[in-house]
Amino acid sequence: MKKFVFVSAALIGSLVLGGAAMAAPATYGAKPSATPSANSKKPVTTPKTNGTDANTTTGTTATESTTSKPGASGNSNAGGKTAENNNTNDTKTNGNSGKTPSSTGTKTTGTTKTNGAKPAVDTGVRSNYIVRFAEGTDVDSESTAIASLKTTVSKKFKTVIRGALVRMTEKQKENVAKRANVLSIVPDGDVSTSETQSSPSWGLDRIDQIDMPLDASFSYAETGVGVTAYVVDTGVLTTHSEFTGRTAAGFSAISDGNGTIDCNGHGTHVASTIGGTIYGVAKGVTIAPVRVLGCDGSGTISGVIAGLDWIAANHDSSKAAVVNMSLGGGANSTLDAAVNNLIDRGITVVVAAGNNTADACTASPARVPRAITVAASSATDAFASYSNFGSCVDIIAPGSSITGAWFTSTSATATISGTSMATPHVAGIVARMQTLGAQLPAKISESLAAVSVADTISAVPTGTANAFIYGNPSGVSIPAAAKPLAAISVSATAGSRSATATWVLADNTAGPLTSQTVKLWAGNQLVRTFTVSATETSLQVTKLRTNTSYSFSVVANNAGGFAESARSNAVRPSR
């Protein structure tokens, strides 16, 4: 199993966490006088793929894309073979224990449907795989069918992707891959944290000014109040004085009895940089812990996807949110799809570039084009020696020797380094921008680029954008595009175990739509969502229950926000 690792640089006096290279998710950080390993990874490119379920949608194409950022070389090889590079060698440091668990992933190949492939040799060894289903597939019934092949289904994903975690042999995997609703099969992997430590934090001081020298102050007008920051990490010590009264219920994919409580430190540190009372960029934001990594800073890709699935299913779409992922692993198209689908829901995702001194385009989720990928800088305005680089990097932020809250007590602090520490600086700025009107991910990315400082960081590797985060402390509003008008005349008609929605597009003079989201309701319960093109006006959903009444609503999305239509009439499918 591969591991997600936090990536960080050097540990001095206290513990520092950062971002890591990915096999499975990992955090990025390091230990006193430890030198992070630099793995030269073969660039991996993921060609854009549209996952369309012909049996589910009619009159439209519901898509999931896993396009690599410009300049990434990808996981599509000549001859149509799809391979994923999950090699990583990440380290994690816990305080002064001196223990440095490391995990080296091996190259794995995602299973796709092929004709005439050689039958797998079944050794009887069972492994965990993430099986992704076509859009619109009934997850419960497909999982039951797969389990009937004598496999073990341990998790189901119904929102951010449709799929399941399945334990099976090579021969069973071959049989599962033949099923009509199966899009892909990739090995589950491990994820972990990366960290480092040093002296007091300078990051807040740096991001509120255009250039050096530091002025020993942090000025800000907006606080991010009303915005939820989902911290996908090791959990958060919500009782810490940095977060008093500003935490929300979260989720844990780790079954160790700790719930969302941090027993590692990385997540608490990251959360305090996003929104801590003293150490935070956005001091009014609400912190929601999404625990996908355990006490040792490691977890699985399926656990990370489960966390993203929970966010997608539980976030109130009428409210602004940012997701921070200070973790990483090897290139993984299923994790990329989950991140993309979360972004499709209007949630900005900020990710660590990684700490392997390697091309960020070889790691997931760093290579996701629409995520904001963050590299790290030092207190001398130099590009951090450990940071990943390349065309998949969007912005640079302070990452070395960052002080923040720690998990050992309600007042503890630690100083650590890594792209894991740079990422929450940007997430905090995103939260503040969201209070100024910019909410959709595309607008946030545009606004970040508009206020970044060019060519101020030294030793930036060739091919990496020299754009440093700027906190916009004056409170000058970032112009926000006008929100769209909702679709009109949404209606539903019933068919044989199916329902079809039709609607009329409003005259959106505020700006072109970027996409639409169709919601399927059973009574007042949201059953499924489908992302369709900006010009689509109909959608058919099949395999519905005949004893249930369904209705639809349509969400119009553009750079300024979103608008949801009224519900359609309710219809009951026939047999």
CATH number of the domain within which 423 lies: 3.40.50.200
Q: Which residues of 54-92 are buried (b: 16+ CB within 10 A; e: fewer)?
A: eebbeebbbbbbbbbbeebebbbeeeeebbbbbbbbbbb
CA distance 436 to 430: 10
User: Do residues 430 and 495 share a domain?
Assistant: no
Phi, psi of 113 (to 5 degrees): -75, 130
CA distance 530 to 62: 6
User: Do residues 418 and 341 share a domain?
Assistant: yes
User: Do residues 417 and 533 share a domain?
Assistant: no
CA distance 18 to 4: 12
Cβ count within 10 A of residue 412: 15
User: Do residues 358 and 493 share a domain?
Assistant: no
The answer to whether residue 222 is domain-embedded is yes
| Domain around 275 | 1-40+67-110+188-434
User: Do residues 335 and 410 share a domain?
Assistant: yes
The C-alpha angle 26, 27, 33, rounded to 5 degrees, equals 120
**What are the pLDDT tens digits along the chain (575 aa)?**
444 444 443 332 232 333 333 334 556 543 333 333 333 333 333 333 333 333 333 333 332 233 345 433 333 333 332 333 333 323 333 333 333 333 323 333 333 333 344 444 566 789 999 999 998 899 999 999 999 999 999 999 998 899 999 999 999 999 999 999 999 999 887 775 544 333 346 667 666 666 667 667 666 667 889 999 999 999 999 999 999 999 999 999 999 999 999 999 999 999 999 999 989 999 999 999 999 999 999 889 999 999 999 999 999 888 899 999 999 988 999 999 999 999 988 899 999 999 999 999 999 999 999 999 999 998 899 999 999 999 999 999 999 889 999 999 999 999 999 999 999 999 999 998 888 776 778 888 888 887 788 899 999 999 999 999 887 644 444 444 567 888 999 999 999 999 999 999 988 766 678 788 999 999 998 989 898 888 899 999 999 999 999 999 999 887 667 889 999 999 999 99
User: Do residues 398 and 493 share a domain?
Assistant: no
Maximum distance among all Cα pairs of the chain, rounded to whole angstroms: 73
SS3 at position 179: coil
Q: Which residues on neighbouring strands pair with residue 294, listed in sequence order?
A: none
- Segment 383-412, tens digit of pLDDT: 999 999 999 999 999 998 899 999 999 999
- Segment 59-102, tens digit of pLDDT: 333 322 333 454 333 333 333 323 333 333 233 333 333 333 33
User: Do residues 267 and 365 share a domain?
Assistant: yes
Give pTM, 2 decimals.
Answer: 0.65
The answer to whether residue 116 is domain-embedded is no
The answer to whether residue 463 is domain-embedded is no
Q: Is residue 237 within 8 Å of 411, Cβ to Cβ?
A: no
The answer to whether residue 172 is domain-embedded is no
The answer to whether residue 306 is domain-embedded is yes
Closest by CA position to 394, among listed 376, 417, 381: 376
The answer to whether residue 132 is domain-embedded is no
CA distance 419 to 28: 6
SS3 at position 538: strand
Q: Is residue 31 within 8 Å of 306, Cβ to Cβ?
A: no
The answer to whether residue 156 is domain-embedded is no
User: Do residues 28 and 106 share a domain?
Assistant: yes
Cβ count within 10 A of residue 566: 12
Q: What is the 3-state secondary structure (H, E, C) of 184-230?
A: EEEECCEEECEECCCCCCCHHHHHCCCCCCCCCCCCCCCCCCCCEEE
Cβ count within 10 A of residue 159: 21
Q: Is residue 418 within 8 Å of 399, Cβ to Cβ?
A: yes
Residues tagged active-site: 233, 266, 420
The C-alpha angle 9, 12, 13, rounded to 5 degrees, equals 145
DSSP 8-state class, residue 315: S
User: Total domain count for the chain?
Assistant: 2
User: Do residues 522 and 417 share a domain?
Assistant: no
User: Do residues 278 and 374 share a domain?
Assistant: yes
User: Do residues 276 and 338 share a domain?
Assistant: yes
User: Do residues 193 and 281 share a domain?
Assistant: yes
